[in-house]
Structure 1
Amino acid sequence: MKPTLFSSWQKLSTRIVGLLLSFLAVALLVIGSTLLLSWQLEGSAAAINVAGSLRMESYKLAMLAGRLSDGSERGEAVAGVRAQIQRIDGTLALLQQGDPQRPLFLPPTSAIRDVYGDVQREWRVELVPQVEKLLTPEASASTPVSASYAVQQLVERFVFGVDHLVQRIERDSERRTFWLRASQLTLLGLALVGTVSIIYLLFDMVVVPVTRLQGGLERMREQDFSVRLPVNSNDEFGMLARGYNQMADKLQDSYANLEQRVQTKTGELEQQNRELALLYDSSAFLQQPQSAEAMCHGFLERISEYFGADGGSVRVLDPNRNNIHMLVHRGISAELVESERCLKVGDCLCGEAVVSKLAVIHDLRRNPNNHNLKCNREGFSTISIFHIFAQRQYLGFFNLHFRKTTVFTTAQTALLETLGQLLGTAIENQRLQVRERELAISEERNLVAQGLHDSIAQGLNFLNLQVQMLEQSLKQQRIDEVESIVPMLRAGVDESYQDVRELLHNFRTRLQEGTLVSSLETVVDKFRRQSGIAVDFDANGDGAPFPREHQLQLLFIVQEALSNVRKHASASQVWIRLADEQDFTLSIKDNGHGFDVQKLQTLGDAHVGINIMRERAQRIEAQLELKSQPGEGTEVVLHLPRAQRRAA
């Protein structure tokens, strides 16, 4: 909508600018008229001077005309008369044309122009022709006295006309001087009136509204919100007054309802604190190591107590059979538990909710089939169903049963959905932990099987062959062969017995309190006692501690390497070097007979001990290197770069 002229004039800025422009226009008009009158008075004064000079020039012309009768001076007199006529003509022309630069001009009135016309006509028609007659050659012989007297009479008449013109100009100047004084007085009065008017108008339009607004603000600062400002205009101060009144209304309403609002906000904060406390308590409880039933039971107790539920249950989904199993329950009868212990997806209200996977709150009183629902027969009026998710995977749902009709707010629904996600994450973590334990047990069983195959199985196979040879020797009554086989059987049994003891020791190995170095020292001391082989153990560095699982794998690798030294190397000295800096390096070296590494690689998985060490090294992302030459001993080097190293 375009603003109209009236609405624009209502603006304070427009009115102030218009007022100042009006005073400026009047002042410029008066000043302009004063300047014009001053300029005209200067021109009239110059015209009076020039017109006054005509009288002297006219008398001089009469004197020169009188000298024409003197024959001896006639030539000089004629020249003087002609020059004088030209000067008077020039003066009359100057008065007629004017000179704006001096300034010089006749006042532009008809009376003065008429008088000037009479003077000019007197000069050109009567005086100049009469003087021209005296200048003719015919009059040169003798100039009568009457002719000179006639020129003097005409000069007197011309001078009289000039005097009349000067008087007219003087009277006009007097009148213009009066108007000049009047305009000056008007300008002075305008300045006084304008200043007073501007002060009054600015006081009325600016100072008074500002003072009124300041007074209102002072009273508002003193918490007096009843004051209101009058709205007397539609300008900016009127808008300010209306805005002030609206602000005062809102502040008065705010202060009047402040206590109630504080109570409301306090209640909201308390409710949020209770929600946060419930979330924190539930999260801390769900992270504790416990069974799924105990975890769900504690979870159900907490939310039932928080929401005042009379009963509830937690149900998990069997996706393979589309069954919903009740895991825990609270506050519901044994009959209801037995009837709904296992539901199909889509059955009853709970089964239908599984299909949609959306939170549902059922008001059983509004259900047309409520008489067929077991929950209604139990006395429950409201049944709520909230689902359990873990990383977008649907796991089940939990119920809250209320005997009174209950309505959940949006915040409560969001809280229960969040709790469902927490419970789902906890259940999924438990399942992952079980799977991880199963995987670890499977891997350990694989290592046990490899250890048995590498030690006891080979020993038993050797004993089996010796027993077969013993049986054949007994059948053939070869006593000498029997005597040679029996020691071999005893040696094989002893070797198998030592292998069993060593395997049992390795399987029962646990990290004691202390560092990796202290645990390795314990293993080395036991190896010295059991094998009688000298061991030089040197550990340097102060790197970050390993996780306990990694330390256990390192111990197993050292034990397997020492076991291989005892069984296969026929060594008398072992050197163990540990460099624990940013990179970790562990070396086990012996002075045994050694072997061909390339030939060992052709055996593949036949040498189980080496493969077990490699598998354990891969678990901690380490690199295992085997160095050996026939007759030069064997060295096992385990290296863990800083990029793959993890601290406890």
Structure 2
Amino acid sequence: MNESLNERPPTRFNRSVMSYITLSLAAIIGITLISIFISFWVTELADKDAQAINLSGSMRMQTYHIGLAMERGQPDQAIKAIEKLHHTWNHSLFSQQHALLLEPKSTHSALTRFFSVAYSNWLSNTKPALIAMLDSTPNIVDTEHLLENQVLLTDALVTQFQKDAERKIMNLRSFQLLVLLITVLVGSLIFYLLKHRIEKPLTQLTETAEKIGEGDYQQRVDVSGNDELTLLATTFNRMSDSIAESYSQLEERVEARTKELQQNNITLDFLFNTARTILESPSDTLDFHAIIEDLAQVLGDHRLELCLFTEHGGQPYMQVGSHNDDGELCEKKNCFDCRNPANFKQPINLPGEKRIPIVMGDRQYGIIDVQYTALHNIPEWQHSLVQSVANQLAIALSMAQQKDRENRFVMLSERTVIARELHDSLAQSLSYLQIQVTRLQKSHDKNKFELQQPIIDELREGLSAAYRQLRELLTTFRLKMDDGGLHTALQSTVTQLSERSDMSVQLDYRLTDLPLTPSEEIHLLQIVREAGQNAIHHSKGDNVLIRLQHNRDKSVTLLVEDDGVGIPDTPEKLNHYGLAIMNERSRNLGGAIEIQPRKEGGTRVGFTFIPSVQRL
């Protein structure tokens, strides 16, 4: 690292940028406050000047009123006017001037002197003379001369009041010009300091930052001084050196990271394709050889071997090797060495070899044997990849095993249903026919030939019924649930029922938003079939409606209605075997079959249950 990295920026600032800004703001605020306070003071002094001028000017008019009253010979009006003028001279607006009269004359201002002369003339000469003239016959010439002299003194006082007010306004204007000059000087100084101590360094820092952003890490900021911007410039230079040094190592790190990302991308792509292949391929057609070959290409030079064995078997039932080296597969047929008796879920590490188990739950399906020639163990990413493939294969094998179990269970369940339905229908019919054959044999042995014809008729009817039941059972056994689900199967059943009768069979299916389990679909299909056959064979009507709907209380209702002749008092005799089958299947779904006559005529077969998905 160069010397600039070893420099230590100053921590104390003799000329801080914030001090410049603070002093500038303080100066501007101080000048503003001083100018406001002085202007307020001057205007306060001149606040009463206009009123004083107006009041002093009114004294001239009052003087003229005195002379007019005396000229008209109205002494009472003259006395009132004299008292009013005297009261005006002692008005509160002139209280300051009266107070100044008590001070030495050397301190009197021009306004005070004019006020003193005019007020003294009124108090000593004009007022006493006017009162004396009222006691005798007034001399008009003397009165006019006396009042004219008072008016002249009053005019001089008014003029002096006006000059004093104008002087205050002039002083205010001069002060404002002075404040403006000071503000301009202080603002210019502040602008100069901000320009050279803040704007210029910030401009350098901005330009240098832009050039560094463009990739030129050799740029430096040259800012002298002892303030925050100097610290920022020094730190900026140190940061630039540090970035330049880091950038010199960045390409190698980027290259290594890019290689790692490419490797991860290849790994993820391989795992995705493997998972898709496992999910899309049936368990019995899964190409293990292709998976091992693709895995070997991703890993590189390592040899791979896949061994699958049964849960308790001692020999593998499948061995797959990479690089077409199936002839060099492990010749040891004993698989117990490939299992870890202590913990079969953990890999087995051997010199130049790693055996990764294929485990799902408590079942081990096999191993993936990785053979490598490097002095050290395989990298961690390769171990994780092989382990992920082993987990996927374990899931695929487990799903296949579970599917086989489900197929066996379904097969056993269907066989049980077939056996039960054969017992409830054909077995009982054959037993009945066997009894009739026995009766026929006895009548033959006893030569009672007159009894044989009814027995033969019963045999013929029983055989017809048994044959019909056999056809219905065959039709039932041929029913299947394809990818279309229950809706498609019901449509197929409706088509078959319509072809076997002149009745109109309609389907109203309202379960498009509710999933059912395969067992529930099969039971519903068989109940619909049995109820539909009963309606076709025994109702003697024209229409059959099959409705399947989802209720608000989360239940499902199946209704099979016809417009036929209705049901007898004992409906169980109508079709004993079909009703038994429907009752048994309804109990498996947690419900019960209800057979009721319709008000409009005909029969309604109803069934309600709650699907397993709604019980969660």
In the superposition, the TM-score normalised over structure 1's length comes to 0.54
Aligned to 2:607: 638
Instruction: Report how far residue 393 of structure 1 moved.
Output: 6.0
SS class of match (1:573): coil
* Alignment partner of 1:591 out of 545, 561, 565: 565
Aligned to 2:152: none
% identical aligned pairs: 24
Please say if 1:413 is aligned against 2:413. no
Contact 2:320 2:326 in 1 (8 A): no
SS class of match (1:424): helix
Please say if 1:11 is aligned against 2:11. yes
Contact 2:344 2:357 in 1 (8 A): no
The 1-side partners of 2:445 and 2:369 are apart by 79
Contact 1:311 1:401 in 2 (8 A): yes
Aligned to 1:264: 256
The 1-side partners of 2:284 and 2:369 are apart by 17
Contact 1:582 1:642 in 2 (8 A): no
Change (3 A) 1:324 1:199: farther
Q: Look up the equivalent residue of 2:12 and give its one-letter code.
A: L
The 1-side partners of 2:223 and 2:347 are apart by 56
Instruction: Report how far residue 459 of structure 1 moved.
Output: 0.9
Instruction: Report how far residue 612 of structure 1 moved.
Output: 3.2
Contact 2:296 2:302 in 1 (8 A): yes
Aligned to 1:47: none
1:599-614 map, 5 Å: 609-614=578-583
Of the two, which has the highest radius of gyration?
A: 1
Q: Deviations over 1:113-157 (max 9, x none)?
A: xxxxxxxxxxxxxxxxxxxxxxxxxxxxxxxxxxxxxxxxxxxxx
Change (3 A) 1:463 1:405: farther
The 2-side partners of 1:315 and 1:354 are apart by 20
Please say if 1:578 is aligned against 2:546. yes
Aligned to 2:270: 278
In the alignment, structure 2 segments of 5+ residues that lack a partner are 1-7, 24-188, 552-556
Instruction: Report how far residue 277 of structure 1 moved.
Output: 0.9
Instruction: Report how far residue 406 of structure 1 moved.
Output: 7.0
Q: Look up the equivalent residue of 2:346 and give its one-letter code.
A: L
1:33-432 map, 5 Å: 213=205, 216-217=208-209, 219-221=211-213, 223-228=215-220, 240-292=232-284, 294-308=286-300, 311-316=303-308, 318-319=310-311, 321=312, 325=316, 327-331=318-322, 334=327, 336-340=329-333, 342-344=334-336, 347=337, 350-352=338-340, 355=343, 357-362=345-350, 364=351, 382-390=352-360, 395-402=365-372, 407-432=377-402
1:501-540 map, 5 Å: 501-510=471-480, 515=488, 518-528=491-501, 535-540=503-508
Instruction: Report how far residue 586 of structure 1 moved.
Output: 2.3
The 1-side partners of 2:235 and 2:362 are apart by 53
Instruction: Report how far residue 356 of structure 1 moved.
Output: 5.2
With 259-268 and 463-472 compared, the bigger mean Cα shift is at: 259-268
Q: Look up the equivalent residue of 1:11 and give its one-letter code.
A: T
The 2-side partners of 1:358 and 1:279 are apart by 21
Change (3 A) 1:574 1:509: farther
SS class of match (2:429): helix
Aligned to 2:410: 440
The 2-side partners of 1:18 and 1:480 are apart by 135
Q: Deviations over 1:472-530 (max 9, x none)?
A: 333333333334333322332222222222211221124698856642431322442xx
Change (3 A) 1:397 1:333: closer
Contact 1:594 1:628 in 2 (8 A): no
Give the total of aligned pairs: 428
* Alignment partner of 1:561 out of 531, 544, 551: 531
Aligned to 1:492: 462
Aligned to 1:43: none
Instruction: Report how far residue 608 of structure 1 moved.
Output: 5.8
* Alignment partner of 1:473 out of 428, 443, 446: 443
SS class of match (1:398): strand
Q: Deviations over 1:211-230 (max 9, x none)?
A: 76556446535533224568
Contact 2:305 2:319 in 1 (8 A): yes
In the alignment, structure 1 segments of 5+ residues that lack a partner are 1-7, 24-196, 365-381, 529-533, 601-605
Q: Look up the equivalent residue of 1:355 and give its one-letter code.
A: N
Contact 1:591 1:633 in 2 (8 A): yes
SS class of match (1:355): coil
Q: Look up the equivalent residue of 2:430 and give its one-letter code.
A: L
Q: Look up the equivalent residue of 1:577 and give its one-letter code.
A: L
Aligned to 1:61: none
The 2-side partners of 1:205 and 1:275 are apart by 59
Contact 1:582 1:641 in 2 (8 A): no
* Alignment partner of 1:456 out of 400, 410, 426: 426
Contact 2:494 2:506 in 1 (8 A): no
SS class of match (1:287): helix
